[in-house]
Amino acid sequence: MDACPVTESRCCQFCPQMGVDLDLVNRTLFGVAYSGEPMGEVREVNIARSREAKIRERAQYGGTVSTLIRVALESGLISTAVLAKLVEGVPQGVAVSSSREVLDCCGSSYLVCPVLEAFHRWQPEDNGRVGVVGTPCQTLALAHLRTCSLSAQSNVNRLNLVIGLFCTWALSHRFRKVLEKWAALPEIRKTDIPPPPASVFHVYTADKCISIPLDDVRPFVPPACALCWDMTSEMTDISVGSAEGIEGWNTVIIRSRKGQELVRTAVSEGLLETRELPKESLDHLMESARLKKRRALQNLVRKSGRREDLLHLKLKREIVERILGSD
């Protein structure tokens, strides 16, 4: 093995799995200490959906993400968006700048997508501003980047919008072999995980829907997902997920003033509609987010052997105690 002589490196600084101080990240983004509340910093929680039929037809649920990105591009908040796009059925990170291209990125791939690679490769034009859509691990990496002393050598200073997706886990690309047993990857129109108690992974082609038991899917979840404590992409301007039991709508958590203004613009331009999130759905979301935190802490403690050592995660002791209790 070669010894690495570098003492200060971007690889070590930027990777949140090498150490992330959630208090520092939260203060940098929101100006307050990290609370450890299940859903992070919250200004508003609503349900929303696109008013545009052509987005709703292709979107995962209500098309809220694609609509907000479209409005951000058209209003000049950003000049480029880094999104995930299926190329021959495999998700790739792409930098796009038109509404047409945003439409081509609609829908969720549950395979891990190298969105941040596309963010780092993006070559900004003069005064270019970028928005990124990503999973909790990706949006945490971006937020963490803002706290790194070497970040000037990255595109992070051009980052003007982060939209996060809710995520329980993603799937390794080894899962492609399982999918290919049922359909050629480019023929897959949509994949989805319906809410419990279904316990299946749906794969839709033009003429059929295949249901794969979740027990056959879970072996393809990368081990890092078991250590992730964030279900709702806490370090973002806006986070979006499904609206359980309310088909065709999204749950939307607005976290920053910028996020709030973007949603207001989308609504006032008639491109997005919002409604109140029913209390029981909010309670359920809170509970799922709390359980993800608890599971992650249990796994981290199991791995390190000590409650005081959460490996890459730096968290205040009182937050750990509150979540783990007498475990």
Ligand X SMILES: Cc1cc2nc3c(=O)[nH]c(=O)nc-3n(C[C@H](O)[C@H](O)[C@H](O)COP(=O)(O)OP(=O)(O)OC[C@H]3O[C@@H](n4cnc5c(N)ncnc54)[C@H](O)[C@@H]3O)c2cc1C
Q: Which residues in this chain contact ligand X in the complex, by CB under 6 A? A: 59-66, 83-84, 91, 105-111, 113, 115, 133-135, 165-168, 170, 240-242, 250
Whether residue 197 is preceded by a cis peptide bond, meaning omega within 30 degrees of 0, is yes
How far is Cα 157 from Cα 130, in angstroms, rounded to an integer? 9
Nearer to ligand X, 14 or 61 (CB): 61
Residue 41 or 101: the one with the smaller Cβ distance to ligand X is 101
Kindly state the smallest distance separating residue 181's Cβ from ligand X, in Å.
21
Least distance (Å) between residue 64 CB and ligand X: 4
* CB of 36 or CB of 63, closer to ligand X: 63
Q: Shortest Cβ distance from residue 23 to ligand X (Å)?
A: 26
Q: Smallest distance from the beta carbon of 83 to ligand X, in angstroms?
A: 3
Q: How far is the CB of 139 from ligand X (least distance, A)?
A: 9
Q: Which residue has the tokens 């899962």?
A: 175
The helix (run of H) or strand (run of E) holding residue 159 is strand 159-165
Beta sheet of 190-192, edge-to-edge order: 190-192, 200-204, 209-213
Contact of 248 with 64, CB cutoff 8 Å: no
52 in Cβ contact with 61 (< 8 Å): no
* Least separation in angstroms between CB 79 and ligand X: 17
Helix segments in the chain, DSSP class H: 10-14, 22-30, 53-58, 64-74, 99-103, 115-121, 136-145, 176-182, 214-217, 257-268, 279-304, 317-324
CA distances from 62 to 56, 160, 194 (A): 6, 24, 15
Nearest CB to ligand X, comparing residues 203 and 320: 203
Which residue, 81 or 301, has its beta carbon nearer to ligand X?
A: 81
Q: Shortest Cβ contact with ligand X: which residue? A: 241
Rounded Cα distance between 215 and 124, Å, is: 43
Nearer to ligand X by Cβ, of 66 and 155: the residue is 66
Question: 38 or 62: whose CB is closer to ligand X?
Answer: 62
- Can you read off the two tokens belonging to residue 40? 């992070």
Nearest approach in angstroms of CB 179 to ligand X is 14
Asked if residue 288 lies in contact with residue 231, where contact means CB atoms within 8 angstroms, the answer is yes
Which CB sits closer to ligand X, 64 or 320?
64
CB of 126 to ligand X, least distance (A): 26
CA pair distance 193, 200, nearest whole angstrom: 6
Q: Specify whether the CB–CB gap between 51 and 258 falls below 8 A.
A: no
